[in-house]
Amino acid sequence: MLVTEDGYGWTFIADRLDGSGTVVSVHVEGPYRKPLAVGTRKTTSTSAAGDYEVLTTVNGSGCDTTGTETVKQFLLDPVTGLPDTADMSFTQYCFDKIPQTGTLKWQARSDATAPAAPTAVEVSATKPRKVTWKASASRDAKSVVARLVQGTGAGATAQSGIPLTVSGTTATVPSVHSGQQYTVLLFSVDTAGNVSKPATARFGTAPVTVMAPGRPTITAVTSGPGTVTVSFTPSPDNGGLPTSYTLSDSHTEVTGTSSPLTLTGVPAGDGFVYITPRNAAGGGQDVLLRRDDRRVTAD
């Protein structure tokens, strides 16, 4: 978290743990940059000198209206004038008139080094699932934050997903839907409040990404009076699903699951025939074959 001085007050800025930007900021103001007095008081949405104000911005959406704040402790560094200690809570009534509550706790510290993450993270196969790990190797690591998210956990932070209750070096994973992949993320927190990078363990089954099949490779084409026979090799890119093939022209078609396919009732003269692969995801790219009364060639 970063603290800056601005106007008559201070802004507390919390960045995402993955470094992708600010997730929340809280701006507090009081009379002429003096420490906020202990107690509960009303706040305003104005910026007049001497007003008590709380401005909260979460993921770029701000809330700056009337409400209340309760200050338990608010001390300034005598040299820098920046907050040394802040412990307060607040309630705001934003534009939709729904109360928004928050807590701001800040302690200036010289230690800004994150502890080592937990290691040897495992999720049991039996239900109810348990996640176990080895504690951080950092001497000042004091606690662990455990979160459960759906998917691979890419970009997840200590605020993502749902919290798990930690007991020593274990936590219980709640029941989840089958047919999905889940990730448990563990963060070590040290005595200064620094948070480690996540240690992760995944379980469940990732959903299959269904894809339309690729174009088959034409290996032979023969034609006769009113017929066209096409031999082909299926593409290995079939999306992992059963694939059928349709041989057609503008008048008729035939469908099968293997090579070769023979189309009958083909009118005399020049024209085109197509072979189209298809699976549950839809049709793949056609292979176009040009024909005349003597031969058929693939474009």
End-to-end CA distance of the chain: 62
* Burial environment of residue 197 by CB neighbours within 10 A (0 to 12, 13 to 18, 19 or more): middle
How high is the pLDDT of residue 48? 64
Listed as ranges, residues in the chain with pLDDT below 50 are 294
Q: Are 243 and 233 in contact (CB under 8 A)?
A: no
Identify the three-state secondary structure at position 244. Answer: strand
Tally of helices (H runs) and strands (E runs) in the chain:
0, 26
Distance CA 148, CA 121 (A): 13
Structure token pair of residue 242: 């059963």
In the DSSP assignment, the letter for residue 112 is: -
How high is the pLDDT of residue 119? 97
The CATH architecture to which 119-204 belongs is Sandwich (2.60)
Per-domain residue ranges for the chain?
2-107, 119-204, 217-298
How high is the pLDDT of residue 129? 94
DSSP letters, 179-242, are: SSEEEEEEEEEETT--BPPPEEEEEE-PPP---PPPPPEEEEEEEETTEEEEEEE--S-STTS-
- In CATH, the number for domain 217-298 is 2.60.40.10
The residues near 52 (Cβ < 8 Å, ≥ 6 apart) are 29, 30, 31, 36, 41, 42, 43, 44, 69
Decide: pTM greater than 0.85.
no
- In degrees rounded to 5, what are phi and psi of residue 234? -60, 150
Q: How far is CA 279 from the centre of its chain?
A: 29
Same fold, 119-204 and 217-298: yes
How high is the pLDDT of residue 142? 94
Distance CA 120, CA 124 (A): 13
Distance CA 166, CA 213 (A): 46
